[in-house]
Amino acid sequence: MRPAGQMLWRSDPDFPYFSIGRREIVLHRTIAQFAASILEQISRLPAGSEAGAGNRRSAFRISVPGAPEIFARRARRGGMAQLVSKDLYVGLAPRPMRELAVTREAIGRGIPVAEPMGAIVEWVAPLLYRGVFLTRAIPAMTLWEFLCADDDPVARGHVLAIAREAIAGMHSRGLVHGDLNLNNLLVARSGESFSIVVIDLDQARLCKGPIPAERRRAELARMARSARKLDPAGRRIDAATLAIVCAE
């Protein structure tokens, strides 16, 4: 008997739940009627890590006539864990369902996160699953892509400053990201200016109040390390850039 993953998702009129075979599905009401087409497209997505976009090359754009355009991000392991399995997870608390709940709460707290559109869990065996998380597609690029593409010091300084404000706001509202890096911050146009959108909350957790200073420093230090890995020669991310976006 497969685990009852749906028990982790509280009833929400905007996100109806249903199941198909081994799959448990929660979709936003605006795309629920397109479930069959969305699932069919997801089933055809390439599984190779070189195929998609995002931090682990695991995000894919899904277009269904009549529905909002969405991004489908496969749950995919990083680090040493991927040597054992790239996309299989063990547990009773599926990450996509947890991410959906965390993202909904983050929106309620005023944190600028990507709009969630649903979560899909496929049980391979008891306690063993694959997952997909869905967000509304927005025209944007990652902060790393922006830093690589824009050489205007004024624009760079402005975007880095609002990125730092977004991180500080996230922390002050009690969100620990868990995987903060330049590819998990999107730069989007906002009128004549820019805005920052936080994505990939699959490792995030929420605190009742502002997160402790020590935890904030750890997140920023992790972000600095990931930035140095992206640009070890410092061609796009110099010490001044790191000081703006990664300093306490």
Q: Residue 128: phi, psi to the nearest 5?
A: -120, 125
Q: What is the pLDDT of residues 84-120, one digit of tens each?
A: 457 788 888 899 999 999 999 999 999 999 999 999 9
Residue type, 141: M
Closest to 90 (Cα-Cα) out of 118, 53, 128: 128
Q: What is the pLDDT of residues 128-186, one digit of tens each?
A: 998 999 999 999 999 999 999 978 889 899 999 999 999 999 999 999 999 999 999 99
DSSP 5-67: GGGGS---TTS-EEEETTEEEEE-TTTGGGHHHHHHHHHTS--STTSSBTTTT-EEEE--TTS
Summarize the confidence of residues 51-64 as an average pLDDT.
Answer: 70
Q: What is the pLDDT of residue 51?
A: 56
Contact 101, 8 (CB under 8 A): yes
Could you say which of 1.10.510.10, 1.10.340.30, 3.30.420.10, 3.30.365.10 is the CATH number of the domain covering 140-246? 1.10.510.10
